[in-house]
Amino acid sequence: MLSLNADSILNLMISADSLNIVNLQYHTSFPGHDPFNEQEPYIPGVRVLYYGLSDVPYAILNGGTRNTHQFDFINMEPDANIMYLESLLDSKYEILIQSWIDGNSLNVGTEIHAMDSLPASELTIHVVVLERKITGVTGGNGETTFNNVVKTMLPDAAGTTLYKAWTRGETRTVYNSWNMEHVYDPDELRVFSFIQDESTHEIYQAAISAIGDLTGTDDEMTGKVPGNPFTVFPNPASERIFVRFDKPVADDVNIELYNNLGGLVYSGQISAGDEETEISAADFHDGLYLVRATSGKKMLGIRKLTIIR
């Protein structure tokens, strides 16, 4: 019953301030049977060890960096005022998320922008796939509606760790994919990305996004998606690559190519009033690439590109 009460408290808080609060539900193997833990036992187990938890329910705010950010629902319950104050703090980073489905594979690009010059530190970029609402499943305590169930973390529970200093405006992008399984309703899937300090556990920034396209159409594979009208061709490419919009762009558009390790290998631009750019593929190795188009801080889309000679 304690878990039911905890869920009720959190759900009320989130419904009252859904723009500032995101609730990740890790389903553990204790104290009793949990159907979602049977589907994915590894991720919750690693996060339990990371935070040193011995009992549930337990809620952690902003990495649990303070005693007032840890809630056992017996001695302390979550405080909406504390959550609100945390949301007002200026962040050191910005996050942009782009996701799309290709067949049964969910692909995610998480882009990190440094808002200022920052000293070297060990940071981890975590990418979480969650299902916002699941019904028709009965938990060990009789609960039948579950919110924000963590399905997986990408590439795994350890995330992608960077140890580096940042310059103001510097950007890093991490790409991950997940072979979808145990999904009850694809329309309820969301991608949640956050940056966490490995020394303090503090979370510096977080963002949540709906999946960009759940249809996995053939158009997406060739680089053209309704509502995001640009095409990458030929695909596969060997000598030249063209990126073309359906009509002249109103503002300058940045075109970037990333290899399958997330490394930036090309950066160019389509100027306002133009609709196409040509890229030489001579210096690129055979393999899978991602073509990203942005205008200012707005993400226009990501397309897959294969280079074969």
What pLDDT score does 2 carry?
Answer: 67
SS3 of the chain: the string is CHHHHHHHHHHHHHHHCCCCCCCCECCCCCCCCCHHHHHCCHHHHHHHHHHCCCCCCCEECHHHCCHHHEECCCCCCCCHHHHHHHHCCCCCEEEEEEEEEECCEEEEEEEEEECCCEEEEEEEEEEEEEEEEEECCCCCCCCCEEEEEEEEEECCCCCEEEEEEECCCCEEEEEEEEECCCCCCHHHEEEEEEEEECCCCCEEEEEEEECCCCCCCHHHHHCCECCECEEEECCCECCEEEEEECCCCCCCEEEEEECCCCCEEEEEEECCCCCEEEEECCCCCCEEEEEEEEECCEEEEEEEEEECC
Residues of the chain with pLDDT under 70: 1-2, 16-20, 84, 88, 141, 212-228, 261-262, 297
Q: What is the pLDDT of residue 48?
A: 92
What local confidence, expressed as pLDDT, does residue 210 receive?
84
pLDDT of residue 223: 36
Could you give all domains of the chain from N- to C-terminal order, each with its CATH number?
2-210 (2.60.40.2360), 218-307 (2.60.40.3080)
pLDDT at residue 157, as a whole number: 94
